[in-house]
Amino acid sequence: MIEFHQVSKQFDHRTVVDQLTLNIAEGEFTVLIGTSGSGKSTTLKMINRLIEHDTGHIRFAGEEIRCFKPAEIRRRMGYAIQSIGLFPHWTVEQNIATVPSLLKWPRARIRERVTELLGLLNLDPELFRDRYPHQLSGGQQQRVGVARALAADPEVLLMDEPFGALDPVTRAALQLEIARIHELSKRTIVLVTHDIDEALSLADRIVLLDQGRVVQQGAPAAFLTDPVNDFVRDFVGRSDIGIKLLSLETVSRYARPGEMPQGELRGEPISAHLSLRAALSAFVSRRVDTLAVIDGQGQPAGVLHFADLLRREPA
């Protein structure tokens, strides 16, 4: 979908992106991660030509992006940023309708789309449609920002630290939201963040950048099990790599399905959808070594033993 080939960018003789080669597959959730100044934001903005690259080639849908007019390519890509950038003098509806109006969609279709998107982002359409941005909380504003980015059904969704300014609770809720949207639409998403937990929980593929170069890219688990060097190890956090590994797997894959709970297992059974990290927390806080597991319908789904956490392969 998006290919970088030997792309470099300099600002005032300082190389920000250095010979970057990167392939973002269609339908993939790619997270660009790195410290401040690693070039991750610049890389993202080169995709929709907010920043023009100096050398190399960037292809979008097989074509060099310089062949497109900047405005045209941007309308085909959704764009959400940390400061949200809602237009303060427009209502929520007008904000979301920005790109559809630019594309001259008929009114009825725009209205319908706004209703649909507000619903998708858990905002009551009738309540929020006519509000102004200053009447919304930070989390609601960012939901509108994401809805606006999705409005014209873009081929790619670009997000530049979209949840950076939100409190942890709101951020977690919106992360779930965006994971669900990706699950539903299988849209290509490129997200920039400096938060490794956000990257681990959202990404199909993580690209770790440092000083404008790719240090490591691949599936989230690979960052934890096979870090290529100390920089990666430090970045993911040496001391809690194990915990993070557990957070990538769900209880359902490790529980022993046929087994019935023996005797009295203390406390409520745990949901099969929880991560192993949450299961570990339950083991420790309840001081037990076996937990009863139930599935989504509340039916028994086997037992999880403490030792199961250490197994390499699922049951």
Partner 1 sequence: MTVKVTNRVLLTLLLLMLAAALGLPLLTDAPNRLVDGHGIALSALMRGKYVWLLLPFVVLVVQSFAPQRRRTQVLSAVSATVLLSCLTMLAGATATALSGGPDSFVRISFGGGFWLLFGLNCLAATDAIGRATISRPARIFFNLLVFVPVALLLVGGQLDQLSIMKEYVNRNDVFDAAVVRHLQIVVLTLLVSVALGLPMGLAAMRYQRLQRALFPVLNVIQTIPSLALFGLLIAPLAALATRFPWLAAHGVSGTGMTPAIIALVMYSLLPLARSTVAGLEQVPSGVIEAAHGMGLTGWQVFVRVEAPLALPVFLSGLRITAVQAVGLTVVAALIGAGGLGGIVFQGLLSGALDLVLLGVIPVVVLAVVVDSGFKLIVTYLQAKQHTTQQMSEQTSEQTRPA
Q: Catalog residues that contact partner 1 under the rule CB under 8 A.
A: 48, 50, 70-75, 79, 81-89, 98-99, 102, 132-135, 145, 148-149, 158
Question: Which is closer to partner 1, CB of 131 or CB of 256?
Answer: 131
Q: What angle do CA 237, 243, 249 make, to 5 degrees?
A: 120
Question: Which is closer to partner 1, CB of 99 or CB of 191?
Answer: 99
CA 205 – CA 95 distance, rounded (Å): 31
Shortest distance (Å) from residue 43 CB to partner 1: 15
Shortest distance (Å) from residue 150 CB to partner 1: 12
- Residue 14 tokens read as 């300082």
Question: Which is closer to partner 1, CB of 13 or CB of 134?
Answer: 134
Helix (H, G, I), strand (E, B) or coil at 112: helix
Question: Which is closer to partner 1, CB of 84 or CB of 304?
Answer: 84
Shortest distance (Å) from residue 132 CB to partner 1: 5
Shortest distance (Å) from residue 83 CB to partner 1: 3
CA-closest candidate to residue 187, choices 154, 144, 219:
154
Shortest distance (Å) from residue 232 CB to partner 1: 30
CA 294 – CA 270 distance, rounded (Å): 6
Shortest distance (Å) from residue 131 CB to partner 1: 10
CA-closest candidate to residue 119, choices 180, 161, 175, 169:
180
Question: Which is closer to partner 1, CB of 171 or CB of 277?
Answer: 171
E strands within the chain? 2-11, 14-24, 29-34, 55-60, 63-64, 77-81, 156-160, 188-193, 205-210, 213-218, 270-271, 290-294, 300-305
Question: Which is closer to partner 1, CB of 156 or CB of 246?
Answer: 156
CA 312 – CA 289 distance, rounded (Å): 18
